[in-house]
Amino acid sequence: MLNSSERKALKARAHKLEPVVIIGTKGLTDEVVKEVDLALKAHELIKVRAPGMERDMREVALKELCERTGADPVQSIGKVFVIFRKHDDA
């Protein structure tokens, strides 16, 4: 779980990022989760866009996406999520 200062620093880092994964009309599919997992392995901090989802569905999708990928939610603004997963340096 991120503390407030970590979340603030990550929000600042995420500001310049473009979304790397887009959740399509089929919603949060296994393929989307796999793409998010791969993007997190490569980048640690990513943006995900969900243009076709209503607000309540986006909240559920963000929570589920973080649970399924082991990531932490950083921010949700409109139709864009920012999520973070620390790299395993082991």
Give the CATH number of the domain where residue 63 resides.
Answer: 3.30.110.60
Whether the per-residue pLDDT at 90 is higher than 80: the answer is no
DSSP 78: T
Residue 90 lies in a domain: no
Maximum alpha-carbon separation in the chain = 39
pLDDT (0 to 100) of residue 47: 97
pLDDT at 18 (0 to 100): 96
For the entire predicted model, the pTM comes to: 0.91
What's residue 87's pLDDT? Answer: 86
Does 62 fall in a domain?
A: yes
Q: Are strands 45-49 and 19-22 parallel, antiparallel or unpaired?
A: parallel
In a domain, 64, yes or no: yes
Counting the structural domains of the chain, the total is: 1
Cα 47–68–79 angle (5° rounding)?
30
Q: Is residue 89 part of a domain?
A: no
Amino acid letter, 59: E
Q: Are strands 45-49 and 80-84 parallel, antiparallel or unpaired?
A: antiparallel
Assign 2 to helix, strand or coil: coil
Grade residue 1 by pLDDT with cuts at 50, 70 and 90.
confident
